Amino acid sequence: MDRAYEGDETRQLALALGYEPEVPPKATRVDPWEYDREMYKRRNEIERLFRRLKGFRRIFSRFEKLDVIFLGFILFALIIDALR
């Protein structure tokens, strides 16, 4: 979740689904909640990983018809990314 989705309805839905939302409250919120700041900072790492994966044309355009082959290419792209 991002700060744009910190509304009460979205937060309650995430909690109902069993997720622990680590999104900071907006500065104008009357009753702010506690959140794990370090976990929220790591969110940027995941976003950068998805940006790098989108650099592989086969992943973002989904050429493969079989899920197994698609997953194999994602694993291949992750290995290439780790070796850089």
Q: Are residues 15 and 52 in the same domain?
A: no
84 pLDDT band, cuts 50/70/90, is confident
- What would the pLDDT profile of 33-51 be if each residue is shown by its tens digit? 888 888 888 888 888 888 8
Q: Are residues 18 and 53 in the same domain?
A: no
Q: What confidence score (pLDDT) does residue 25 get?
A: 84
Number of domains observed in the structure of the chain: 2
| Helix residue ranges per DSSP H, the chain | 8-16, 37-53, 57-61, 67-83
Higher pLDDT pick, 61 / 42: 42
Q: What confidence score (pLDDT) does residue 29 get?
A: 83
The token pair at 10 is 């979205």
Q: With 80 as the cut, is the pLDDT of residue 1 above it? A: no
Q: Are residues 41 and 82 in the same domain?
A: yes
Q: Domain containing 3: what range?
A: 1-35
Tell me the pLDDT of the chain averaged across its residues: 85
